[in-house]
Amino acid sequence: MATAGDMHDATDFVLPFQVGESAVRGRIVRLSGSVDEILSRHGFPHGVSTFLGEAVALVALMGAALKFDGKLIFQAQGDGPAPMIVADYTAGGALRATANVSGDTANAAGTALIGAGHIVMTIDQGPDMERYQGVTPLDGERLEEAAVSYFMQSEQIPTAIRLAVGRLSAPGEPEQWRAGGIMTQFVPGEGGTRERGAEVLMDADDQESWDRAAAFVQSTEDDELLDPSIASETLLYRLFHEDGVRIFDRQPVRAECSCNAGKIETVLRRYDASELADMVEDGAITVTCEFCRRAYRFDAEGGPLPA
């Protein structure tokens, strides 16, 4: 348990930045209330909550780069005691996440919770647009390592990532989950006309700039990402003051689920009367959202009941 002092950097946000005038661009994410709401609702074992919090931070870092009204969905799937982790980011800053825990997680941490498996990244650009999906093996012992491997294999983009999750307490405040992360990528022309999967080419100066930036990111300590008394701007100056760093507008994020009674009612209406009758318990059909854990109640015909 860490103890925080000044809470001035506690707002949930993603902060984009650029290292000097180079092609190294990045984002910092700081999550407090949003990640605490997501993790507290589930009450998973500590190791699973930590991994899920990292997934939320990662999907915020990645999703904040979306330039369209869509959704980024991260999934880690395998044969371990927590065989599936899902987190998604919807344009505008909405975050949600869940996990499937089917075994004993006491002696597992990091990607060992998922086991042998793979990462799936899905970019949903809306109902009239084609989905993009990338699938790579789940490599490395930590989620940040697996994510870097994903970008190199699927996107061919040099990437460095650090993620941190923990529980913090401030004087007079209850302990709560916090998450943070920093991500840099070498992206010439902020994407330019490079096709997805095409290798990024660097000259000697580019390589030197990238190697230095990646080393600085990897040196970032957990406390620097979690302690709200360390402002994000202060951290960026610590890391990149020699090259200079340009900071752009913060992008707010929040915990928000897309479930609603109407969507569930549409699904229930597809069942016949006998199937619906089998779902009734204590006079109602109860459906609990796997993401936000909100319970919805319906009558025996699949119609919504008052909350």
Digit-coded pLDDT (tens) for 98-143: 999 999 998 889 999 999 999 999 999 877 778 889 999 999 999 9
Kindly give the residue spans of alpha helices, DSSP state H, lying in 21-133.
33-42, 46-63
Q: How far is 37 from 229, CA to CA, in rounded Å? A: 21
The proportion of the chain whose per-residue pLDDT surpasses 90, expressed as a percent, equals 77
| Res. 4 pLDDT band, cuts 50 70 90 | very low
Mean pLDDT for the chain? Answer: 90
At 135 the three-state DSSP class reads: strand
Q: How far is 75 from 84, CA to CA, in rounded Å? A: 7
Q: Which residues contact 37 (CB under 8 A, 6 or more apart)?
A: 255
Q: State pLDDT tens for residues 30-42.
A: 999 999 999 999 9
- Report, as an integer, the average pLDDT of 48-58: 98
Is the pLDDT assigned to residue 256 strictly greater than 60? yes
Which residues lie across from 70 on neighbouring strands?
none
- Report, as an integer, the average pLDDT of 193-221: 80
Listed range (9-13, 24-28, 266-270) with the worst mean pLDDT? 9-13
Is the pLDDT assigned to residue 195 strictly greater than 70? no
The proportion of the chain whose per-residue pLDDT surpasses 70, expressed as a percent, equals 93
pTM of the model: 0.90
Domains located in the chain, CATH noted: 2-255 (3.55.30.10), 261-298 (no CATH)
